[in-house]
Structure 1
Amino acid sequence: MELAWITLGLAALPAMFGLVNLWLLPRLRAPRAAQEGLVSILIPARDEAANIEACLRAALASRGVAVEVVVMDDASRDGTGEIVARLAEADPRIRLLQAPPLPPDWTGKVHACARLAEAARGTHLLFIDADVRLDPEAAAALLAHADARCIAMLSGVPRQLIGSLGEALTVPAINLLLLGYLPAVGRAFTRRADLAAACGQLILCDRAAYEAVGGHGAVRHVLHDGLALARRFRAEGHRTEVVDGAPLATCRMYGGFAESWAGFVKNAREGMATPMGLPVWTVLLSGAHLWPWALLPAPPAIAAILLMLALRAAITWRAREPWWTVPLHPLTVLVALAIQWAALGRWLLGRPAGWKGRAYPATKAA
């Protein structure tokens, strides 16, 4: 019974954070007046033939602010560049660039983003992935919020489109960890760099601040560029903030379990999967979300399960994720922990992280 009470306490922590964070997370509204300036929508693209046209058409539909769209074709092998070139012929707002050879100590996406920023003409830089579909009001809403609150970097998690069981067992962990375990959910009033957060799928940067902190060149070796960039901004004294990204964009990150596993293992090395941090995270997550099931029918265990399912349902509603993923919640947490331990194991063995035909050396975990 004592262990059941411990699990209830561990479940109460994310429930409390989640309640506060769901209230704190800003939901942006489209500005009433057109915004001044130019937003450069910057898209690194490597083998994105299946995504790039829909991504570009959504970006070009932006309203409320002037935009340009710049695509960096990063040595694609599937005709991505040809698709962009065809669309650029019909719309002068599109520019296609070819990525130079990848220098040592850089990761591919970070290098492409750095070169995109150099080529951009805008006062603000909106970095998105090729699998992101912007809402027409997104760029203007992000710019208005950033200008009104003097925020140098804004980010949000787009609404995640989940089309398979494998994705349902992996993708919802993003919002669970952000809303359930990050104090104040990355709001700008939390100035500490270790409380910064960002999602690399959707990031708006003030150009002057971006250049002042060294841009992507300052985080050239990372794979989780959003988080590293947000921490860099805060370390240099700039304000960053996370907003509700579900109304701003949609994204289907992966196409199934194998792709999801590989993608999350790649990023985990720079998040939870550290020798010091992961044991703590394992106790926090398994104690709140997994242990109570083994302690049934103890009343505290029942209460812990109800708390966690209520938290997951609330996050699912706010993130606009499919309701059918909620009953899978314990398995989602179990898979999330397995991913973290697999990533840590790869790092300890010195195995490189691979993505889209490239391999990166195992960097030192914090």
Structure 2
Amino acid sequence: MGWAWLTLALAALPAIFGVVNLLLLPRLRAPAGGSPGRLVSILIPARDEAGNIAACLEAALSSRGVEVEVVVMDDGSRDGTAAIVAGLATADPRIRLLQAPPLPAGWTGKVHACARLAEAARGTHLLFIDADVRLAPEAAAAMADHAVARGIAMLSGVPRQLMGSLGEALTVPAINLLLLGYLPAGGRAFTRRADLAAACGQLILCDRATYEAVGGHGAVREVLHDGLALARRFRAEGHRTEVVDGAPLATCRMYGGFGEAWAGFVKNAREGMATPLGLPIWTVLLSGAHLWPWALLPAPPAIAAILLMLALRAAITWRAREPWWTVPLHPLTVLVALAIQWTALGMWAIGRPAGWKGRAYPATKAA
């Protein structure tokens, strides 16, 4: 019975954080009169995105309430990405297509492309999105207005995650679970601590002047998880960052199945939980709250822990607008998340590089 009470205590921690974070998570509204005098540069790094880029551009160009430009950096694509963008640019002068220069030593591909995009941008605000993101029409205006009104230098949100396969359902929901259930303050701007910063690299808006002052992507050139690294950089330099409700702002289908999702999350894990000191603690926290109770049934505290965790997952799923059918898979989602983290740590231990879209990056995570 003692172990069952421990699982209930471990379940109570994310439940408390989750309730507070869900209540405090800002939902943005577009300014009633628009945002005259502002130009939001929507910046899209693209490598082998022929299946995504046209829909991404169409959504970005549908932005209203603020003037936008859309700049695409073709980063050595081996498909028809560049040709698609070039064709659309002939019909809309707001689109610009750039070609990324060769990747310098010490840089990761997306970070380098984002840095070059920022240099070419003309806007007062830089809105970095991935090619698989579809912006809502009011997203750019709402984000820029919120940032200016609250004095926030960097704003981010997790887009509504679309999932079309079991493999995605077993991996993608862990993003919002960890952000809302385990991060004190949930990335809100009222805390300035760099170690409590958070961001989603799929959707990031930066004040241009502040971005340049902190060194931009050039200051985090070696990372793969650019959103988190940028948020920590901004806060370390004394600037405010905030995570807002991203579900009304954009949608994204990150991966096409389990294989892609596994590779993508393993790539980023080494800059998050997958550290020699941190991962054992995370394993106790996550398995104790979400997995152990099932082994301790029918003890009443274990039942209470299970109900608490399923209620938390249901609340996060509702707020994030994720598919309801993923909720019963919750224990498996946590199990897969831990397997991804331990795999990433094992790859670091043996010096195996992380690969993504034809590039390999050395295992540099050491703490």
2:133 counterpart residue number:
132
1:265 counterpart residue number:
266
Query: Matched residues in 2 for 1:312 and 1:263: separation?
Result: 23
Identical aligned residues as a percent: 88
Secondary structure of residue in 2 paired with 1:71: strand
Q: CA deviation at 1:282?
A: 0.1
Q: What is the correspondence of 1:248-259 to structure 2 with a 5 Å cutoff?
A: 248-259=249-260
1:155 counterpart residue number:
156
**Would the aligned equivalents of 1:124 and 1:206 in 2 still touch at CA under 8 Å?**
yes
2:234 counterpart residue number:
233
Query: Matched residues in 2 for 1:97 and 1:15: separation?
Result: 46
Query: Matched residues in 2 for 1:101 and 1:73: separation?
Result: 11
Q: CA deviation at 1:69?
A: 0.1
**Would the aligned equivalents of 1:246 and 1:319 in 2 still touch at CA under 8 Å?**
yes
RMSD of aligned alpha carbons: 0.4
Q: CA deviation at 1:83?
A: 0.1
Q: CA deviation at 1:365?
A: 2.7
Query: Matched residues in 2 for 1:100 and 1:84: separation?
Result: 18
Secondary structure of residue in 1 paired with 2:44: strand
1:31 counterpart residue number:
31
CA shift digits 1:7-27 (9 cap, x unpaired): 000000000000000001000
CA shift digits 1:160-199 (9 cap, x unpaired): 0010000000000000000000011010011000000000
Query: Matched residues in 1 for 2:245 and 2:122: separation?
Result: 27
Provide structure 1 residue ranges, at least 5 long, that are not aligned to the other structure: none
Q: What is the correspondence of 1:42-121 to structure 2 with a 5 Å cutoff?
A: 42-121=43-122
Query: Matched residues in 2 for 1:64 and 1:145: separation?
Result: 13
**Would the aligned equivalents of 1:186 and 1:195 in 2 still touch at CA under 8 Å?**
yes
Query: Matched residues in 1 for 2:27 and 2:365: separation?
Result: 37
Q: CA deviation at 1:34?
A: 1.2
CA shift digits 1:47-93 (9 cap, x unpaired): 00000000000000000000000000000001100000000000000
2:306 counterpart residue number:
305
AA aligned to 1:86 is G
Query: Matched residues in 2 for 1:195 and 1:109: separation?
Result: 24
**Would the aligned equivalents of 1:87 and 1:94 in 2 still touch at CA under 8 Å?**
yes
Q: CA deviation at 1:364?
A: 2.7
AA aligned to 1:126 is L
1:5 counterpart residue number:
5
2:206 counterpart residue number:
205
**Would the aligned equivalents of 1:5 and 1:300 in 2 still touch at CA under 8 Å?**
yes
Secondary structure of residue in 1 paired with 2:96: strand
**Would the aligned equivalents of 1:156 and 1:242 in 2 still touch at CA under 8 Å?**
yes
2:329 counterpart residue number:
328
Greater mean alpha carbon deviation, residues 151-160 or residues 26-35: 26-35
AA aligned to 1:140 is A
CA shift digits 1:297-352 (9 cap, x unpaired): 00000000000000000000000000000000000000000000000000000000
**Would the aligned equivalents of 2:100 and 2:116 in 1 still touch at CA under 8 Å?**
yes
TM-score, scaled to structure 2: 0.99
Q: How many residues align?
A: 366
Q: CA deviation at 1:137?
A: 0.1
Query: Matched residues in 1 for 2:15 and 2:119: separation?
Result: 43
**Would the aligned equivalents of 2:271 and 2:365 in 1 still touch at CA under 8 Å?**
no
Secondary structure of residue in 1 paired with 2:107: coil
Secondary structure of residue in 2 paired with 1:200: coil
Query: Matched residues in 2 for 1:55 and 1:126: separation?
Result: 13
Secondary structure of residue in 1 paired with 2:90: helix
Query: Matched residues in 2 for 1:320 and 1:103: separation?
Result: 39
AA aligned to 1:105 is G
Q: CA deviation at 1:46?
A: 0.1
Query: Matched residues in 2 for 1:62 and 1:98: separation?
Result: 24
Provide structure 2 residue ranges, at least 5 long, that are not aligned to the other structure: none
2:14 counterpart residue number:
14
